[in-house]
Structure 1
Amino acid sequence: MEDIQVWGKEDSGMFSVSAAYECLTKHSADPQSEVYNILWKTKAFPNVLMTAWRALRGRMPTRQCLSRRGVSMNSMLCPMCQLEEESSQHIFLLCKYAQRVWSECFKWVGTSTVQHNDLKMHFLNFYLFQATNKQNLIWKGVWVNVIRCIWDQRNLIVFQQGVVDADEIFQKAQLKSWLWLKHRTHSFNYSFSDWVLNQSSVLEVLSNKQAVVFIPWMMQRQKYGLMHSNLGFVGEV
């Protein structure tokens, strides 16, 4: 009997490009690629998601990163705490001011958790067990907004001689997450004070009592007009 070649990934034994691609991606994919799949589903403005994506990939221009690229630095210390070398892990997770912000996040919804020192694991574990998947995409929107607001505060200190304020970072993250919901969903009719003071009940309404209908980006711009670019919109104030 003559030997024949058989493609073992298909029941028919016939080679297909799609099966080969699936096989390659399964073996070559980053074990933590789930992080990025979840990230792009997270409910936040595009510029906020891009900042979080760069942070998760270790691409933020921290002092450690710039030094490795050959940029001469006057100081390697974290601009916020002035205690440790500024790396992505430090500025976003280990800095005492960053830790205070993350603690405020969990205090906000009346829970607590062990906080990981790895950014990807921290993102994946920023999760409310009592919440639905839809709720947790909104909750992860808070995570990415915290990352963006920490970086904005860091830049304010570096370039404009600002003063570090953990409460301000947290409040701005709350505001950004509220603005996304206000302008990107039909069913979100809560004031900012409701969002801040009654977070758990708002999340419950969003997932269980009302259908959340997300407004496409271009429709949103036409409906609400153009707002400040720091909040994810571009155009006139």
Structure 2
Amino acid sequence: MEHNIYMYKIVIHLSKPDKEEKTTKLIWVKESDGIFSVKSAYDSIVETDLEFDESNFNLVWKVWAPSNASALGWRVFLDRIQTKMNLVRRNIPISSCACPWCGIAEETTSHLLFVCPFAWCVWSLILRWLGIFFVLPGESMDHFKQFVNCWSLATKSGLATIWLATVWHLWHGRNAVIFREENLESVGIFEAVKLKSWSWIKACNKNCPHSLSEWFNEPLACLGDM
């Protein structure tokens, strides 16, 4: 479906053939010479996609995290991770489309990482750890944007790192449940997120003076010093 939408956005920039011309040809109206280019096609998609938020994409690549974590966040924004429903859309046979966490709803990106009661519990623990209480949206970009702006004194890079670490452990935890039949609890993922985010920040930000104990107890205070 998403690929069809992008193709439509490209096709609308093709001009209709002139009825007076004897031969039919397509002209790419986004270029002065009428010749198609990948760059202008990409720019056209971005211009017409109301849900595209360049700031989110830029920030997810500037966080204190390894590139494979940023790549995962980028694919989550684009709904390109291999959830069961995304595999079904590619005509890949799946025995069950049920979410591995709750076993009830279909496994979409939004449900698996943000809406499922299991994921919601993990995010609630994260917010409680940060000392912040509000309801997060169910769509990836809105969820990310609200999360990284939840406290003005903390750096967005630090909060984005925590967000990525949470998405990272929910996704890889999901894989552990499906492929290794592990039994995971929300508290265990929460504790793993705290450790993972601290290790990423310490590795990527040499100006971080805080210990693991300080990070566990006062994460926002630590972020405020960076």
Task: Give the aligned partner of residue 47 of structure 2.
Answer: 28
Alpha-carbon shift at residue 43 of structure 1 (Å): 2.2
Larger deviation, residues 28-37 vs 177-186: 28-37
Task: Give the aligned partner of residue 188 of structure 2.
Answer: 168
Task: Give the aligned partner of residue 202 of structure 1.
Answer: 222
Structure 2 unaligned blocks of 5 or more: 1-39
**TM value normalised by structure 2:** 0.75
Question: How many Å separate the matches in 1 of 2:146 and 2:111?
Answer: 18
Are 2:65 and 2:204, in contact at CA under 8 Å, matched by a contact in 1?
Answer: no
Question: How many Å separate the matches in 1 of 2:185 and 2:161?
Answer: 21
Structure 1 unaligned blocks of 5 or more: 1-20, 207-237
Sequence identity (%)? 26
Task: Give the aligned partner of residue 192 of structure 1.
Answer: 212
Are 1:115 and 1:122, in contact at CA under 8 Å, matched by a contact in 2?
Answer: yes
Alignment partner of 1:45 out of 47, 57, 66: 66
Counterpart residue identity of residue 40, structure 1:
W
Question: How many Å separate the matches in 2 of 1:179 and 1:186?
Answer: 11
Partner SS, residue 82 of structure 1: coil
Partner SS, residue 126 of structure 1: helix
Counterpart residue identity of residue 179, structure 1:
S
Q: Deviations over 1:39-81 (max 9, x none)?
A: 2222222111111111110001111011111111111100111
**TM value normalised by structure 1:** 0.71
Change (3 A) 1:165 1:26: closer
Counterpart residue identity of residue 171, structure 1:
E
Question: How many Å separate the matches in 2 of 1:40 and 1:154?
Answer: 23
Q: Deviations over 1:103-141 (max 9, x none)?
A: 111111111122111111111111345434x61211111
Task: Give the aligned partner of residue 133 of structure 2.
Answer: 112
Question: How many Å separate the matches in 2 of 1:128 and 1:106?
Answer: 13
Question: How many Å separate the matches in 1 of 2:213 and 2:193?
Answer: 14
Paired residue total: 184
Are 1:80 and 1:164, in contact at CA under 8 Å, matched by a contact in 2?
Answer: no
1:68 equivalenced with 2:89 (yes/no): yes
Q: How do 1:93-108 and structure 2 match up within 5 A?
A: 93-108=114-129
Question: How many Å separate the matches in 2 of 1:188 and 1:27?
Answer: 36
Alpha-carbon shift at residue 200 of structure 1 (Å): 2.2
**Root-mean-square deviation (CA), in Å?**
2.1
